[in-house]
Amino acid sequence: MAQKKKVAVILSGCGVFDGSEIHEATLTLLALDMKGAVSVVAAPDIPQTKVHNHYTHQDEPQEKRNCLVEAARIARGSIVKVSELKVSELDAAIIPGGYGAALNLSNFATSGADLQVEPSVATFLREMHSQGKPLAALCIAPPILAKILKDAGVRGARITIGNDKGVASQIEALGQTHVDCPATSCVVDEKNMIVTTPAYMLASGIAELWQGVQATVDALLKLCK
């Protein structure tokens, strides 16, 4: 019997405007489970860059929250720090979207192509890439992979965030090649072991999102050695 693939799912909090997009995170976990893979949910143990009230649609500047603690809500408490992940025990990794990817896992929201990736996340992803293990990212998270690849000397990796010209230009500025893609599909770069999908950058609803997430997880697992 084939051994189940173990996939790290990197979260950035809980909620689309200040953490992980909950639909994207949950459907990622569902797709992995339906394919017989084991999810290892992780998040950096750091303060969120900001806290957003998803009911009033206002930021709460006086409130402080922790990415790991908030992401544990999605993981039903079964979560580890990114710094505790062991690359040798994993087959792949995937990063759901939500603005937390651009606020907490990186500073893409404020720095664009000059982004820096959160240190524990950067260390983990660089090691995964150096060992030839596939990586996937959804929605606004692909620029993180573009930066990791750039730092590894990779140019021209095929990456998508959908068709947003502003974000696409930042991926190009990081030395990678942006490929337009619908929400129901994904872009697979077999050479660089990268899979990306637009998710809610384009998806009109959860059904379209599901198709793209399924395609991404299927492609990611096929890249596993």
Active site residues: 139
Closest CA relative to residue 193, chosen from 148, 151, 141, 163: 148
- Residue partners of 83: CB distance under 8 A and separation at least 6: 44, 45, 120, 123, 124
- Residue partners of 51: CB distance under 8 A and separation at least 6: 18, 59, 60, 63, 64, 65
Sign, CA dihedral 27-30-31-37, equals: positive
Contact 192, 161 (CB under 8 A): no
